[in-house]
């Protein structure tokens, strides 16, 4: 008798569990229909905007991939190294004459670097490039009230980085002479003599150039290692 009662109770439990399973499945199917209906309503009203956003995201991803591929394949390591060396020399000369001249104007140095890149790629004309550099100098000298060495630093760094060889030579010599002249006329007291002039904010264009070199060399090394492993 007890065995029959246990079997009946177990059958009842299984039947109830099956009913709960069907009920939960029905609830989830209903929620799925509601979600599809809500999505259809939203797409009906703002479908075009969603499509534009998706296209913008896809085009952005494609542009980033194309830009990365161009760096890996065509980044001029030798020219970028020369740019970093010459621009760093200009920054070092400026820091030696006027400590903290690099840290005090990171945005002007970044703007000068962007303008130099735009001029090299042909996005802006050479005349407009010179006009922008002159504008940066006057902005730093007469609005920010900086000295001549600090004011001329963004333009000098950009010209030393992307100018013709004779332009680079003239700019380096002229800027060094200006720094020496100003430093010789500036009285050196104890506090100035203890200033280290360490560059804490490296200009963004130099960081980007260094990253391009690193990506290109890393890609070449990875390709070489891949071929070596295939041969082995």
In a domain, 134, yes or no: yes
User: What b/e string do you get for 155-170 counting C-beta neighbours within 10 Å, with b at 16 or more?
Assistant: bbbbbbbbbeeeebee
Whether residues 6 and 119 share a domain: the answer is no
Whether residues 90 and 163 share a domain: the answer is yes
**Interval 51-84: pLDDT, tens:** 777 788 888 888 888 888 888 888 888 999 999 9
- Name the residue range of residue 51's domain: 1-74
Query: Tokens 């009946």 appear where?
Result: 8
Whether residues 2 and 14 share a domain: the answer is yes
DSSP labels, 138-151: HIIIIIS---HHHH
Whether residues 219 and 135 share a domain: the answer is yes
74, 90, 125 - which closes a domain: 74
* pTM for this predicted structure: 0.69
Q: Pick from 58, 103, 131: which is nearest to 203 by CA?
A: 103
DSSP 99: T
In a domain, 190, yes or no: no
Number of structural domains found in the chain: 2
Determine which of 110-114, 144-148, 214-218 has the lowest per-residue pLDDT on average.
214-218
Q: Are 206 and 109 in contact (CB under 8 A)?
A: no
Whether residues 101 and 65 share a domain: the answer is no
Predicted local distance difference test score (pLDDT) of residue 132: 94
Predicted local distance difference test score (pLDDT) of residue 73: 82
């Amino acid at each position: 008798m007890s065995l029959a009662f246990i079997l009946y109770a177990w059958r009842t439990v299984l039947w109830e569990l099956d009913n709960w399973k069907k009920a939960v499945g029905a609830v989830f199917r209903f929620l799925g229909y509601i979600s599809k209906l809500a999505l259809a309503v939203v797409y009906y009203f703002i479908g075009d905007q969603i499509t534009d956003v998706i296209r913008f995201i896809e085009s952005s991803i494609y542009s980033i991939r194309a830009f990365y591929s161009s760096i890996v394949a065509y980044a001029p390591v030798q020219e970028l190294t020369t740019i970093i060396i010459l621009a760093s020399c200009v920054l070092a000369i400026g820091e030696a004459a006027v400590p903290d001249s690099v840290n005090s104007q990171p945005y002007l140095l970044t703007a000068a670097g962007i303008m130099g890149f735009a001029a090299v790629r042909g996005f802006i004309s050479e005349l407009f490039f010179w006009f922008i550099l002159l504008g940066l100098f006057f902005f730093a000298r007469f609005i920010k009230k900086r000295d001549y060495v600090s004011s001329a630093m963004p333009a000098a760094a950009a010209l030393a980085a992307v100018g013709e060889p004779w332009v680079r030579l003239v700019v380096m010599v002229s800027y060094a002479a200006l720094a020496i002249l100003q430093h010789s006329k500036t009285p050196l007291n104890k506090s100035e003599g203890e200033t280290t002039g360490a560059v804490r904010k490296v200009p963004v264009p130099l960081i980007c150039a260094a990253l391009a070199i690193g990506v290109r060399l890393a890609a070449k090394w990875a390709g070489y290692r891949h071929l070596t492993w295939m041969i082995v």
